[in-house]
Amino acid sequence: MLSIAEEYIRSLNAKASLHLFGQDWNDEAWAICRSDMLIKGENADNIVLGDSFEKDGFTQSQHKFDYMLANPPFGVEWKQQQKFIEKEAKRGDQGRFGAGLPRVNDGALLFLQHMISKMRSPQEGGSRIGIVFNGSPLFTGDAGSGESEIRKWIITNDWLEVVVALPEQLFYNTGITTYLWILSDRKATERKGKIQLIDARQFFVKMRKSLGNKRNEIGDGTSGRPDQIGEITRIYSNFRHDEIREVSIDGQVKKRCVSKIFKNKEFGFHKITVERPLKLNFAFTEERIARLENEPGFQTLATSQKHREDQRLAEVEAGKRRQGEIRTFLKGLQKDHREIVFSDREQFLERIKSHEKKADLRLDAGERKAILSGLSERDENAEICRDGKGNPEPDPELRDTEIVPLTEQIEAYFKREVLPHLPDAWIDQSKTKIGYEISLNQHFYVYEPPRGLEEIEADIKKLEGEILNLLKEVTS
Instruction: Write the CB contacts of 28 (distance below 8 Å, at least 6 apart in sequence).
Output: none
Report the Cα 391 to chain-centroid distance in Å: 34
Hey, how many other C-beta atoms are within 10 angstroms of the C-beta on 335? Answer: 8
Domain with CATH 3.40.50.150 in the chain: 2-267
- What is the model's pLDDT at position 253? 87
End-to-end CA distance of the chain: 60
Spatial separation of the C-alpha atoms in residues 284 and 295, rounded to whole Å? 16
For residues 89 and 97, the answer to whether their CB atoms sit within 8 Å is yes
Instruction: Write the CB contacts of 165 (distance below 8 Å, at least 6 apart in sequence).
Output: 177, 179, 197, 198, 199, 200, 201, 440, 444
Q: Which residue, among 285, 282, 287, has the nearest Cα to 383 in the 3D structure?
A: 282
For residues 101 and 86, the answer to whether their CB atoms sit within 8 Å is yes
Strands 128-133 and 67-70: parallel
Instruction: Write the CB contacts of 119 (distance below 8 Å, at least 6 apart in sequence).
Output: 64, 65, 68, 126, 127, 129, 185
For residues 174 and 210, the answer to whether their CB atoms sit within 8 Å is no
Q: What's the 3-state SS for 250-302? A: CCEEEEEEEEEEEEHHHHEEEEEEEECECEEEECCCHHHHHHHHHCHHHHHHH
Fold classification of 2-267 is Rossmann fold (3.40.50)
For residues 437 and 152, the answer to whether their CB atoms sit within 8 Å is no
DSSP, res 394: B
- What is the model's pLDDT at position 193? 97
Kindly report the pTM of this predicted structure: 0.85
Give the total residue count for the chain: 476
For residues 196 and 235, the answer to whether their CB atoms sit within 8 Å is no
Q: Which residue, among 129, 137, 135, has the nearest Cα to 159 in the 3D structure?
A: 129
Spatial separation of the C-alpha atoms in residues 159 and 196, rounded to whole Å? 12
| Mean pLDDT per 10-residue segment, the chain (476 residues) | 91 92 94 94 93 89 89 90 95 93 95 96 95 95 96 98 96 90 96 97 92 92 91 96 89 90 97 97 94 93 88 91 93 86 95 89 92 95 94 96 96 97 96 96 86 88 90 83
Spatial separation of the C-alpha atoms in residues 369 and 371, rounded to whole Å? 5
For 329, the enclosing helix (H) or strand (E) is helix 309-336
DSSP, res 123: G
For residues 206 and 170, the answer to whether their CB atoms sit within 8 Å is no
Q: What is the dihedral of CA 349, 353, 355, 359, to 10 degrees?
A: 140
Torsional sign, CA 169, 175, 179, 180: negative
Q: Report CA-CA distances (Å) from 277 to 411, 423, 466.
A: 19, 11, 61
Spatial separation of the C-alpha atoms in residues 154 and 337, rounded to whole Å? 63
Spatial separation of the C-alpha atoms in residues 288 and 399, rounded to whole Å? 25
Instruction: Write the CB contacts of 327 (distance below 8 Å, at least 6 apart in sequence).
Output: 289, 292
- What is the model's pLDDT at position 61? 67
Spatial separation of the C-alpha atoms in residues 159 and 155, rounded to whole Å? 6
